[in-house]
Structure 1
Amino acid sequence: MAIKLQPAHADSAVLAQPTQSADEVYRKISLRIIPLILVCYFFGYLDRVNVGFAKLQMVSDLNLSEAAYGVGAGLFFIGYLLLQVPAGYLVNRLGVKLSLSASLVLWGIVSVATLLTSNETSFYALRFLLGVTEASFFPGVIAYFSIWFPSFRLSKVMSLLFLAMPLGVIVGGPLSGWIMDATHGGYGLRGWQWMFLLEGLPAIVLGVFLYFNVTGRIDEATWLSDSEKTLVKNEMAAESKGKRTSLLSAVREPALWILFATSFFYNVGNYGLVFWMPTMVKAMGSMSNLQIGLVSAIPYVVASVAMVLNAQHSVKTRERRWHTTIPVVLGGFALLGSVATQATPLLSVLCLTIGVAGIMCTLAMFWSLPSRILAGTAAAGGAGLVNIGAAVAGFVGPSIMGFLKQLTGNTSVGVGLLAVTLFIAGALILSIPRQYMSANQ
């Protein structure tokens, strides 16, 4: 009799645990898995966007036009796009451990190889290959986090992960500028070539290290007690009820396509700004590459704090819709303000700071939404599908900026267009069905 009652007793004990106990368990999990993924994502983001700093030298070294640079910067996302849904499938087949590790090692090799760029064709090819090799990393991270965290906790988790983006500029910007200035001409290499070499090698090392430090199943977590494992498994089991668990069923969900469209318009603004920020800052006055990196970092210092605070407030209040919408709309108005205040660099940087903060706040909130629709094998594939919108935008945003810069001689028209795409993203977020933004889920 006691044996029969034991499971029910155990379940009751788990269900009866106070919220603080669950918070402590998830804090323990977060400390275990998030820092390593954050460091890996930092170098992934750095290897993706450091071409914006390389542009300060390589455009003249290789005789690239502004439009050619914009296309090359965006070609990363074409390679990324083509592998998104297949990458989700590979994550499910190979497991998160091998998928994440292989992606890191391969993109590190391609990033290092970018120092061999000698003309427009090789620039295009290497940027495309970088996108291909990075394609499985983000779906792998989504699948990995979906093993451990229920969706209502994911906005905070994603805000911590996406700290890699502002850190990529806060740390990576000045670092890239310093490397380019300090190493220029060493051993016959240009500064931008040294930058690709020194910033690509860590990804290879991290890929090997990550393989031995990823726990892909709750039952394999030797660092959790049996009661902690049970608590997590119970929460995740309850979390998956009513969600799409296969990719084929997920693609019939209208809300998934709203997320796809939102991802596109939001990221046209996001990546258009990221890849052209150093050029915009350079236009404000005569500065060294290091100084450009430091000024470019200012908006991202503020954004990193705002992003975490916004996500924490959303978790505390259990409100999602306005925590996701207001920042991106505010970001659009701030970008327009940066154009209007171009004659006053201090005010322009202030507007860019507000714009970047708004964009980053929405980013963390947005990527907690797919897990409210998808579970099981659909998590990685569905995230990959939504990320296709971001990949297309990553090509469109920088390319449009490059074309308009070449056509008009400045970035004002391009930045105004980026603001419009952020307004459209805000409207799409408001159209997401209520049940996926509900505080009860």
Structure 2
Amino acid sequence: MGVLESTAAEGLAARIPLADAALATSAFAKVTRRIVPFIVLCYFFSYLDRVNVGFAKLQMQQALGLSDVVYGIGAGIFFWGYMLCQVPSSLLIYRLGMRKSMAAIMIVWGLVSAATMLVSTPFEFYAARFLLGVTEAGFFPAAVMYLNKWYPADRQSKIMSILFLFLAMPLGMVLGGPISGALMSGTHDLHGLQGWQWMFLIEALPAIALGMLVLRMLPESPESAPWLTKAEAAAISGTLSTENARKSTSFVAALKSPVLWTLMAICLLFNIGNYGLVFWLPTIIQSTGMQSPLEIAFLTAIPYSVACVAMNRNAAHAERTGERRLHSAIPLFVAAAAMWASTLFPHNTVVAMLFLTIGISGLMATLAMFWGLPGRVLAGTAAAGGIAMINSAASLAGLIGPVLMGGIKQSTGSISLGVLALAGLMFAAAVLILAIPRKLLSARPV
């Protein structure tokens, strides 16, 4: 966990005595080992239950007679429920407590995801996806609030970026694709149900089981964790108290900053590309001539497997050089060019997959870098509110991306034109990143 600990330890050392800083570092390492893997596992299944509809489409679209636009709306309507319930869910979580809320949310979203196997009409498909967004909306805020009780902001940002976004999300595609494909192929027509129906049911069960384990696996606070000594618990609480006392940057002032709105626009544009690919990649691969759901699922895993390596190498090089802006923009330019190139070979699976892999690797490399940018220009309450607004832009992108792809494919008959549109939006996002002054991203947050 050296990457997670080094920068944060430097910040601690500046605020508290060296011995106390060493004790806090040891305590935070214990916390990371004990609670973070479990939360990441929960987030993995959250992400899988969100995107597995892309694999289900390979069978369910024909079985239910869904048009491309209907599928695109259904895939994206998840984010309507997700966005509308973000604030109400956060308020309810604050009243009920993070652990109880996380447990309830996981069990309910698992039940809703499993119930998707029963849909038979477009309206039922919309309703199931919308309710999944409603029920899942509170999980991420609950997880963030829970981590707030264990980590100061410097450590928490690295935990969130490295483990949540850049481990759970890629693994959701790397592992989720083959798992979904194998389930669909291996259970098709079993006991009168189609493979996509079994997939929704079986992949929902871990969320329900993990929800039942939340209260057992996650302590209420550092003081109640049996695996922390009293001194370690006190070191964590002392660090958090010190940080909370200095959070004073105004969110209202941040709203007046053009940089915040630029970051929101960047997040919106490249995430339209991200979600457009997530929900349509199996179909894009199918359009090259592949037919087997299992083979398509394994091919879907290839770009995200390579992306895991690419984004870590890019982030490591950025860390060594101290440069952030070009390490965010250049991979996105590469992604846009590669996605464009993939459309030149619509019926050549090998060549198309090569360019899709390069494109997705560039996109994920930018995603890994992007969430470190807000913290370069925002701090305190401005960071909390600003990051929430930027995340809302990502949710809006989830509404637009799948529908954009479905609309273009249905109106033109070509999925390649949809991919070109995504490439254009990625290019625009890269240009906006370069529009942010270099010195601003090199400065310490204020």
With the length of structure 1 as denominator, give the TM-score of the two structures.
0.87
Stretch moving more, 66-75 or 205-214: 205-214
Change (3 A) 1:63 1:281: same
Taking the aligned partners of 2:265 and 2:410, their CA distance within structure 1 comes to 28
Alignment of 1:113-124 (within 5 A): 113-124=115-126
- 1:3 counterpart residue number: none
Q: Counterpart amino acid of 2:63?
A: D
Does the 8 Å CA contact 2:55/2:282 hold for their aligned counterparts?
yes
Shift of residue 157 of structure 1? 4.6
Change (3 A) 1:184 1:13: closer
Change (3 A) 1:136 1:427: farther
- Whether 1:330 aligns to 2:359 is no
Taking the aligned partners of 2:412 and 2:68, their CA distance within structure 1 comes to 12
- 1:410 counterpart residue number: 414
- Choose the corresponding residue for 1:267, options 271, 276, 280: 271
- 1:137 counterpart residue number: 139
Change (3 A) 1:18 1:98: closer
Stretch moving more, 66-75 or 247-256: 247-256
Stretch moving more, 413-422 or 94-103: 94-103
Query: SS in structure 2 opposite 1:266?
Result: helix
- 1:85 counterpart residue number: 87
- 2:3 counterpart residue number: none
- 2:213 counterpart residue number: 209
- 5+ residue gaps, structure 1, are 1-10
Change (3 A) 1:136 1:313: farther
Change (3 A) 1:248 1:225: farther
Taking the aligned partners of 1:182 and 1:282, their CA distance within structure 2 comes to 19
Does the 8 Å CA contact 1:52/1:275 hold for their aligned counterparts?
yes
Root-mean-square deviation (Å): 3.1
Shift of residue 393 of structure 1? 0.9
Taking the aligned partners of 2:114 and 2:354, their CA distance within structure 1 comes to 35
Stretch moving more, 368-377 or 414-423: 368-377
- 2:6 counterpart residue number: none
Q: Counterpart amino acid of 2:299?
A: V
- Choose the corresponding residue for 2:325, options 313, 321, 327: 321
Percentage identity across paired residues of the two chains: 46
Taking the aligned partners of 2:442 and 2:235, their CA distance within structure 1 comes to 23
Stretch moving more, 323-332 or 49-58: 323-332
- 2:287 counterpart residue number: 283
- 1:159 counterpart residue number: 162
Query: SS in structure 2 opposite 1:36?
Result: helix
- Choose the corresponding residue for 2:308, options 304, 314, 318: 304
Q: 1:225-267, CA deviations, whole angstroms, 9 ceiling, x for partnerless residues?
A: 4554455456555655765578667655554433332221121
Q: For CA contacts below 8 A with separation 6 or more, give which structure has more relative contact order.
A: 1
- 1:362 counterpart residue number: 366
Query: SS in structure 2 opposite 1:212?
Result: helix
- 2:49 counterpart residue number: 47
Alignment of 1:188-203 (within 5 A): 188-203=192-207
Does the 8 Å CA contact 2:375/2:383 hold for their aligned counterparts?
no
Taking the aligned partners of 1:91 and 1:245, their CA distance within structure 2 comes to 25
Alignment of 1:98-113 (within 5 A): 98-113=100-115
Shift of residue 416 of structure 1? 1.1
Does the 8 Å CA contact 2:302/2:357 hold for their aligned counterparts?
yes
Shift of residue 183 of structure 1? 0.9
> How many correspondences in the alignment?
431
Q: 1:36-83, CA deviations, whole angstroms, 9 ceiling, x for partnerless residues?
A: 111111111111111111111111111111111111111111111111
Taking the aligned partners of 1:272 and 1:288, their CA distance within structure 2 comes to 22
- Choose the corresponding residue for 1:62, options 61, 64, 73: 64
Stretch moving more, 421-430 or 252-261: 252-261
